């Protein structure tokens, strides 16, 4: 008789151990640098917001207590409210003028072929990159030669001078990604240029145009150098607050700076979200077109 085979025990299966991932030192340094930059940028705004709730007139740490008194005083200050409403009028008017002019310049530089387009872009970019003091003094000299007195319209023109290039460059980037065959098809079907612009071109750029207007509104509300040289008897809110700082600091200024900072961040975030959503939608359309 043959004996039954003896089963040998199988050797244990070696389970590979997962190695712990080492975080690259460059990534750590990058995160530290990023945190430092954000702390440097936003620490003043956070500090101002905290001191706007301080119950003491003296800006010292630790705070004496929490209060909303300075916000009540802010909305009860008629001179401050007049400066705020004047700034809103200036910003809205300058943004409307810049939206029309910036979109027109973008259409001219993108849809028309002519020599010197780069020179036109460079000339229009100068007011955007020029220091505010230089732009304000230059416009003041021009207005004096033209016999215009400083006031509402001089400030509007000054603000529109640097908002228009911003709108133009954003519109240029949007128009570059649009399919020009849509405009050609509209005109081939009998629509004129104005009707094609209103029903085809404008709906395609309206989100980017709104985002550009939001950014321009923030720049106008925060501008002080150009407004200082072009203001007349009525000053904008930044110029008015700067005048208050010369004669003594009050916690009411912390409150108005906090509100301006929060509104500016909201508007900038909204503009960024709009531009990002438009870019994502455009990428999805391109991918869908390639698959089809």
For residue 179, give the DSSP letter. -
Q: How many Cα atoms occupy the beta-carbon half-sphere of 207 within 13 Å?
A: 14
Q: How far apart are CA 212 and CA 168, in angstroms?
A: 9
Tens digit of pLDDT for each residue in 87-132? 889 999 999 999 999 888 888 887 777 777 778 777 878 888 877 8
The pLDDT of residue 10: 58
Give the CATH number of domain 78-291: 1.10.3720.10
Burial 17-33 (b: 16+ CB within 10 A, else e): eeeeeeeeeeeeeeeee
pLDDT(264) > 60:
yes
Instruction: Pick the closest to residue 205 from 113, 112, 111 (CA basis).
Output: 111
pLDDT(80) > 70:
yes
DSSP per-residue letters across 121-152: HHHHHHHHHS-HHHHHHHHHHHHHHHTPPSSH
Q: Cα Rg for the chain, rounded, in angstroms?
A: 29
Domain residue spans of the chain: 29-67, 78-291
Burial 84-116 (b: 16+ CB within 10 A, else e): bebbeebbebbbebbbebbbebbbebbeeeeee
Tens digit of pLDDT for each residue in 222-260? 888 888 888 877 888 888 888 777 766 677 777 777 887
Q: How far apart are CA 197 and CA 222, in angstroms?
A: 33
- Mean pLDDT computed over 24-31: 76
- Mean pLDDT computed over 32-46: 79
């Amino acid at each position: 008789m043959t004996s039954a085979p003896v089963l040998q025990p199988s050797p244990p299966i070696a389970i590979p151990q997962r190695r712990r991932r080492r975080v690259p030192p460059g990534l750590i340094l990058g995160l530290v640098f990023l945190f430092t930059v954000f702390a440097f940028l936003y620490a003043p705004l956070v500090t101002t917001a905290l001191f706007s709730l301080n119950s003491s007139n003296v800006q010292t740490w630790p705070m004496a207590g929490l209060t909303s008194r300075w916000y009540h005083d802010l909305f009860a200050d008629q001179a401050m409210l007049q400066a705020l409403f004047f700034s809103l009028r200036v910003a809205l008017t300058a943004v409307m003028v810049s939206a029309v002019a910036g979109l027109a310049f973008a259409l001219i530089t993108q849809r028309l072929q002519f020599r010197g387009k780069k020179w036109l872009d460079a000339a229009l970019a100068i007011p955007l990159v020029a220091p505010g003091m230089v732009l304000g003094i230059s416009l003041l000299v021009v207005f004096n030669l033209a016999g215009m007195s400083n006031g509402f319209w001089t400030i509007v023109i000054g603000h529109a001078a640097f908002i228009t290039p911003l709108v133009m460059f954003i519109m240029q980037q949007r128009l570059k990604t649009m399919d020009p065959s849509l405009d050609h098809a509209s005109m081939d079907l009998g629509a004129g240029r104005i009707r094609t612009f209103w029903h085809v071109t404008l709906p395609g750029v309206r989100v980017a145009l709104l985002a550009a207007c939001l950014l321009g509104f923030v720049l106008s509300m925060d501008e002080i150098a150009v407004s200082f040289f072009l203001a007349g008897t009525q000053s904008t809110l930044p110029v008015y607050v700067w005048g208050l700082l010369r004669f003594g600091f009050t916690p009411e200024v912390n409150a108005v700076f906090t509100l301006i900072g929060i509104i500016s961040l909201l508007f900038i975030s909204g503009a960024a979200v709009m531009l990002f959503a438009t870019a994502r939608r455009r990428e999805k359309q391109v991918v869908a077109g390639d698959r089809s």
